[in-house]
Amino acid sequence: MPELPEVETVRRGLEPVMTGRRIARAEVRRPDLRWPLPERMAERLTGAQVQGLRRRSKYILADLSTGETLLIHLGMSGRMLISGQMLGEFHHDHPAPARHDHIVLEMEGGARVTFNDARRFGMMDLLPTAAAEAHPLLAALGPEPFGNAFSEPYLVARLKGRNTPVKAALLDQAVVAGLGNIYVCEVLYRAGIDPRRKAGRIAADRVAALVPLIRQVLAEAIEAGGSSLKDYRQADGELGYFQHAFRAYDREGAPCLTPGCPGTIRRIVQSGRSTWFCPACQR
DNA sequence: ATGTGTTCCTGTCCGC
DNA sequence: TGCGGACAGGAACACA
């Protein structure tokens, strides 16, 4: 499901029910997601107070009073559902466990957080907070797009000499952390760059222009609460609405929205994944 | 080292 | 309606 804006939206949704609260009871309803869950996960979570919720790339990190950090990745279809808490004007009662409800966290105070993941490409792990950044899944990640380390000179240097299509390069989490298929398509569309171009053969000023565009697209998407495709929802059950702002993604056959451009959005497949772009104005 | 294709899993949608 | 195939927000892994 989720790219950086959706994960950030989920993190923000979880904050009021989790941060500062104790996990009264944890239930692990199956032993594995993408990989086996950590040993004795339910016991290690039970009684722990959540001291903070962080995000790194598409991961959520819950720092616990036990000195451990719960690392969460939602994969393609993972969701964090909140129930039993006053949310806006509505009171949500606890629903009966549903298909693919794999992990249930009952928070002190009555809220319940349920991790549901039909495809089970998601993951969870428990690691010492002090060594969280050294976790194999986090160690190789590139810079956060909103951080100072993600700069125009950085991106120009990072793409220099790369022979892979720029679409694939921006999907590479070691180049920049958090972009996925939707937002790469949207960024390249706004940049007017053909996704098939080799990353190392694009003029430096055009590569540099990607940096503020990446931040802009991600910031707009976070502002909109992410993109709701299929049944993705924010943790509080609200739908994100950035999907209405897509200019390229999933618009095959639709007219290009660039003023004056006569083009039609086309879908191609690159390294096994769909790319949508305008062949007329993306060069 | 880079680049590419395959794989994990379930659900949904579309054409016949 | 049923059935088969394509496709889906990710990314580790194996191999050229």
Q: How far is the CA of A207 from the C1' of C11 (A)?
A: 24
Say which nucleotide is closest to residue A169, CA to C1' distance.
B3
Let me know if residue A68 belongs to a domain: yes
Q: Are residues A109 and A171 located together in one domain of the fold?
A: no
Residue A223 is assigned to a structural domain of this protein = yes
Helix, strand, coil percentages (3-state) for chain A, rounded to 5, are 30, 25, 45
Q: Do A163 and A125 fall into the same domain?
A: no
Return the sign of the alpha-carbon dihedral for residues A192, A195, A196, A198: positive
Domain boundary among A134, A166, A182: A134
Rounded CA separation A69/A49 (Å): 11
Last residue in a domain, options A71, A102, A134: A134
Q: Does A172 lie in the same domain as A80?
A: no
Euclidean distance between CA atoms A258 and A165, whole angstroms: 23
Residues 6+ apart with CB under 8 A from A96: none
Q: Distance in angstroms, CA of A119 to C1' of B12?
A: 13
* CATH code for position A218: 1.10.8.50
A196 is catalytic: no
Q: Please tell me whether any atom of strand B lies within 7 Å of the Cβ of A216.
A: no
Q: Is A198 a catalytic residue?
A: no
Q: Let me know whether A174 and A268 are in one domain.
A: yes
Alpha-carbon torsion (A254, A258, A260, A265), positive or negative: negative
Judgement on whether residues A48 and A120 belong to the same structural domain of the protein: yes
The 10s digit of each residue's pLDDT in A199-222 is 999 999 999 999 999 999 999 999
Quick check: is A142 in a domain? no
Residue A140 lies in a domain: no
CA dihedral sign, ordered A137, A141, A145, A147:
positive
| Domain assignment of residue A158, yes or no | yes
From the list A15, A215, A273, A279, the catalytic residue is A273
For residue A65 the two structure tokens come to 């009073």
Are residues A190 and A258 in contact, defined by beta-carbon separation less than 8 angstroms? no
Q: Report yes or no on A76 lying in a domain.
A: yes
Do A166 and A273 reside in the same domain of the chain?
yes
- Is the C-beta atom of A197 closer than 7 angstroms to strand B? no
Same-domain pairing of A194 and A99: no
Residues A126 and A211 in one domain: no
Of A170, A193, A122, nearest to A271 by C-alpha is: A170
Q: Closest Cα to residue A125, out of A50, A61, A171?
A: A61
Q: pLDDT tens across A88-147, in order?
A: 545 567 888 999 999 999 999 889 999 999 999 999 999 999 999 999 999 999 999 999
What nucleotide is nearest A164 when CA is compared to C1'?
B3
Q: Are residues A107 and A180 in the same domain?
A: no
Tell me how far apart the alpha carbons of residues A246 and A182 are, in angstroms, rounded to a whole number.
8
Residues 9-48 of A with CB under 7 A from strand B: 34
Nearest to A6 by CA among A227, A220, A182, A177: A227
- A196 in contact with nucleic chain B (CB within 7 A): no
Q: Is A34 exposed, middle or buried (0-12, 13-18, 19+ CB in 10 A)?
A: middle
Supply the range of the domain harboring residue A112: 4-134
Task: Give residue-wise pLDDT tens across range A167-176.
Answer: 999 999 999 9
Say how many domains are in chain A: 2
> pTM here?
0.96
Regarding whether A271 and A164 lie in a shared domain, the answer is yes
Structure-block tokens of residue A178? 């958090």
Interval A150-184: pLDDT, tens? 999 999 999 999 999 999 999 999 999 999 999 99
How long is the CA A31 to C1' C16 vector, in angstroms? 36
A134, A169, A187 — which closes off a domain? A134
- Domain-embedded: residue A283: no
CA A266 to C1' B16, whole Å: 26
CATH of the domain at A23: 3.20.190.10
Within a domain: residue A185? yes
- Residues A197, A124 share a domain: no
Q: What pLDDT, in 10s, does the model give residues A3-55?
A: 999 999 999 999 999 999 999 999 999 999 999 999 999 999 999 999 999 99
C-alpha distance from residue A186 to each of A27, A29, A99, A159, A265 (Å): 39, 38, 33, 19, 12
| pLDDT band per the 50, 70, 90 thresholds, residue A240 | confident
Residues A212 and A267 in one domain: yes
Q: Is the CB of A163 under 7 A from strand B?
A: yes
